[in-house]
């Protein structure tokens, strides 16, 4: 039954748009060109407003928009959200063996890709419809609602193809990673130098004209970023870079080469930033659908509808809609020290929920992602490695890995949750999750660029790198 699930998507694959795998070796400079072109198209889409919207763009939920590389009121309204959500759902279904998919088989990989595309388009439609029904673009849209809906669908397909273009070998790395990194960089620069509310342009102008005190400039006031936020942003980058370098190195040896020793590293952030991505994606969906429920119930005042009060009630200030109570209120981080001081209970509850979910998601991904001690032990055995002084078997390796991997996994999940939450409380530019992701992505791109450059200069390395 599980195998037949993916086969359902086979006929649909014939009509889906697709980027072909290059039939020749794409040169390094050409990959740079296509990567830059994809990035430019993305940045242009973040500035093109949706045709037909009747309300101006607000800034609600900007912290989680960074994760999805989205921009309010533009073609990139949904960003990479549907693609990431579709991929996560299918990965969890596949990893938990609910659906049968052997990634070593080209046919299964192809069907999995087709299923991911279909789910992405469906989720784009669902989220786009939810945005329209929630009244985010104004009420009584009429036929404009259809126009907005198809714009979101078309933009979602374009983003999907841009990501596929990069991943299939025309570019470098992943389009999704590229968009997230660009979105974070864009937000940090805008918060630092924006004429309207930037720290060194907008806020400094307010300070010079005596419309803001030096304390407000340091701590932050209203829409203006703070000097503390800038310092915290720099500090967050340094702390996360340091955390990425912490690891435990286990002694290993090669069975085929006596006397040749090696080490197997277990990083402190063993499952990387995935737990905080999962948690943030869950929080985002709670926010979106609670807002939709609030809107469809007629936007009742707090205390007049029990279900709305449980899931989330909102307050409207001009074009901004912000969570006022309920579950959505407690899964949204306070974005400044003033907000934390005004409602410390909310801050502690948010941080507690984030820590719990990150720890749980870390353990889930440990098995789903094939990172558990037994799986890793078997991989090390297959590659010819063993523990010095022990007979060649996966059992001693598994026993040793069980001492470290589960502990490091939970500890890493808690640490990324604390870093992301505290960074948000300090008002960092680009959000705590955004900085966590961008550091990891920059490191990955650095390794990829060095590898590609070495392979370009020394073609013999391609055989060593498995290309």
Q: Are both 134 and 265 inside the same structural domain?
A: no
- Res 297: pLDDT: 81
The answer on 170 and 56 residing in a single domain is: yes
Q: Do 145 and 242 belong together in one domain?
A: no
Split into its structural domains, the chain has a count of 2
Looking at the domain assignment, is residue 359 inside a domain?
yes
Q: What is the pLDDT along the chain (467 residues), one digit of tens a residue?
A: 445 677 788 888 788 888 888 888 888 888 889 999 999 999 999 889 888 876 554 555 555 677 788 888 889 988 888 888 888 788 777 766 777 777 667 777 788 888 888 999 999 998 888 888 776 776 677 788 888 899 999 999 999 999 999 988 888 888 888 888 888 888 888 888 887 777 878 787 788 877 778 887 887 776 778 888 889 999 999 999 899 888 888 887 776 666 567 788 888 888 888 788 888 878 887 887 787 788 778 778 777 888 888 888 877 766 567 777 788 888 888 888 888 888 899 999 999 999 999 998 888 888 776 788 888 888 888 777 777 767 777 788 888 888 888 899 999 999 999 999 999 899 888 888 888 888 888 888 887 888 777 766 666 555 544 55
Q: 234 and 172 in one domain?
A: no
Last residue of one domain, picked from the residues 138, 164, 187: 187
Q: What tokens appear for 201 in the block?
A: 């342009």
Inside any domain, residue 374: yes
The C-alpha atoms of residue 276 and residue 398 are separated, in whole angstroms, by 27
Residues 133 and 260 both lie in one domain: no
Residue 181 within a domain: yes
Tell me what pLDDT residue 223 has: 72
Q: Residue 244 contacts by C-beta under 8 Å, 6 or more apart in sequence?
A: 267, 269, 439, 440, 443
Residue 70 lies in a domain: yes
Asked if the structure places residue 206 within a domain, the reply is no
User: For residue 199, what are the contacts with CB-CB under 8 A and spacing of at least 6?
Assistant: 191, 192, 193, 224, 225, 226, 227, 229, 230
The domain in which residue 39 lies consists of: 2-187
Residues 10 and 146 in one domain: yes
Q: Which residues contact 395 (CB under 8 A, 6 or more apart)?
A: 377
Residue 239 and residue 135 share a domain: no
Query: Does residue 390 form part of some domain?
Result: yes
Token pair 């119930």: residue: 297
Q: What pLDDT is recorded for position 138?
A: 67
Residue 356: the pLDDT is 93
Residue finishing a domain among 133, 157, 187 = 187
Token pair, residue 305, equals 């509808």
Q: What is the pLDDT of residue 462?
A: 55
Specify if 170 maps to a domain.
yes
For strand 313-317 and strand 320-325, is the pairing parallel, antiparallel, or unpaired? antiparallel
350 domain residue, yes or no: yes
The secondary structure of the chain, three-state, reads CHHHHHHCCCCHHHCCCCCCCCCCCCCHHHHHHHHHHHHHHHHHHCCCECCCCCCCCCCCCHHHHCCCCCCCCECCCCCCHHHHHHHHHHHHHHHCCCCCCCCCCHHHHHHHHHHHHHHHHHHHHHHHHHHHHCCCCCCCCCCHHHHHHHHHHHHHHHHHHHHHHHHHHHCCCCHHHHHHHHHHHHHHHHHHHCCCCCCCCHHHHHHHCCCCCHHHHHHCECCECCHHHHHHHHHHHHHHHHHHHCEEEEEEEECCCCCCEEEEEEECCCCCCHHHHHHHHHHHHHHHHHHHHHHHCCCCCCCCCHHHHHHCEEEEECCEEEEEECHHHHCCCCCCHHHHHHCHHHHHHHHHHHHHHHHHHHHHHHHHCCCCHHHHHHHHHHCCEECCCCCCCHHHHHHHHHHHHHHHHHHHHHHHHHHHHHHHHCCCCCCHHHHHHHHHHHHHHHHHHHHHHHHHHCCCHHHHHCC
Same domain? 272 vs 160: no
Question: Residues 233, 179: one domain?
Answer: no
Same domain, 21 and 145: yes
Write the CB contacts of 442 (distance below 8 Å, at least 6 apart in sequence): 181
The pLDDT assigned to 63 comes to 59
Do 175 and 41 share a domain, yes or no?
yes
Last residue of a domain, one of 187, 212, 243: 187
User: Beta partners for 253?
Assistant: 261, 386
Query: What is the CATH number for 180?
Result: 1.10.3370.10
The tokens for 111 are: 């069907």
Instruction: Give the Cα separation of 280 and 286 in Å (integer).
Output: 10
* 172 shares its domain with 256: no
């Amino acid at each position: 039954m599980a195998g037949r699930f993916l086969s359902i998507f086979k006929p649909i694959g014939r009509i889906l748009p697709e980027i072909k795998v290059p039939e020749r070796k794409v040169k390094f400079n050409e990959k740079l060109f296509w990567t830059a072109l994809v990035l430019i198209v993305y940045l242009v889409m973040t500035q093109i407003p949706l045709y037909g919207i009747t309300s101006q763009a607000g800034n609600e939920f900007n912290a989680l928009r960074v994760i999805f590389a989205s921009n309010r009121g533009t073609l990139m309204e949904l960003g990479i959200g549907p693609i990431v959500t579709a991929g996560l759902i299918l990965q969890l279904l596949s990893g938990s063996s609910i659906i049968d998919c052997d990634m070593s088989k080209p046919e299964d990989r192809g069907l999995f890709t087709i299923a991911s595309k279909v789910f992405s388009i469906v989720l784009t439609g669902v989220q786009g419809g939810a945005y329209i029904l929630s009244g985010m673009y104004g009420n009584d849209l009429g036929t404009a609602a259809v126009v907005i809906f198809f714009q979101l669908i078309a933009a979602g397909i374009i983003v999907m193809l841009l990501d596929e273009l990069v991943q299939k070998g025309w570019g470098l790395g992943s389009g999704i990673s590229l968009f997230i990194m660009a979105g974070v960089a864009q937000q940090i620069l805008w918060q630092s130098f924006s004429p309207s509310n930037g720290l060194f342009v907008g806020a400094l102008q307010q300070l010079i004209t005596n419309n803001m005190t030096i304390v407000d400039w340091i701590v932050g006031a209203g829409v203006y970023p703070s000097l503390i936020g800038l310092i915290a942003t720099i500090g967050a980058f340094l702390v996360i870079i340091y955390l990425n370098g912490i690891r435990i190195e286990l002694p290993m040896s090669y069975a085929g080469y006596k006397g040749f020793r090696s080490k197997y590293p277990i990083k402190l952030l063993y499952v990387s930033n995935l737990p905080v991505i999962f948690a943030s994606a869950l929080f985002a969906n709670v926010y979106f659908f609670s807002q939709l429920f609030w809107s469809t119930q007629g936007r009742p005042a707090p205390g007049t509808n029990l279900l709305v009060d449980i899931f989330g009630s909102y307050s409207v200030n001009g074009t901004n809609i912000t969570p006022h109570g309920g579950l959505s209120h407690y899964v949204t981080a306070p974005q400044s020290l003033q907000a934390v001081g005004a409602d410390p209970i909310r801050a502690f509850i948010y941080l507690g929920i984030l820590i719990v979910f990150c720890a749980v998601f870390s353990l889930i991904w440990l098995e789903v992602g094939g990172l558990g001690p037994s799986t890793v032990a078997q991989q090390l055995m297959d590659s010819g490695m063993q523990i010095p002084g022990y007979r060649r078997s996966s059992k001693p390796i598994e026993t040793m890995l069980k001492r470290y991997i589960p502990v490091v996994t939970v500890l890493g999940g808690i640490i990324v949750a604390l870093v992301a939450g505290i960074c948000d409380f300090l008002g960092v530019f680009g959000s705590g999750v955004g900085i966590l992701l961008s550091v990891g992505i920059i490191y990955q791109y650095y390794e990829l660029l060095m590898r590609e450059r070495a392979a370009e200069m020394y073609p013999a390395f391609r055989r060593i790198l498995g290309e």
